[in-house]
Amino acid sequence: MPFDSPFFGVGLIVAGIIYLIKPDIFQRWWWKRTAISQKVMTPEQNKFYMRVLGLVFIIAGIVILVR
């Protein structure tokens, strides 16, 4: 299964760290279209959402690496 690969776990951890450090990285310069979360939430709510998503990615990556 591709999700059992240690590279996938490390990738999730790296993405989570990026989201924690710079939660607005994908706001406008990376994607051409605006995400639904950016249309619905205020900028502060979107930063909080992205940081929580980063924590979830880190936890999921650790779980994959430990298994």
pLDDT digits (tens, 9 = 90+) for 32-61: 566 666 678 888 888 898 999 999 999 999
User: What are the backbone angles phi and psi of residue 9, rounded to the nearest 5°?
Assistant: -65, -45
Predicted model pTM: 0.80
Own/partner contacts of 8-11, CB < 8 Å, gap of 24 or more, are 8/61, 8/64, 9/60, 9/61, 9/62, 9/63, 9/64, 9/65, 10/61, 10/65, 11/61
User: What is the number of domains present in the chain?
Assistant: 1
40 neighbors 47 (Cβ within 8 angstroms): no
Query: What domain range is 9 assigned to?
Result: 2-66
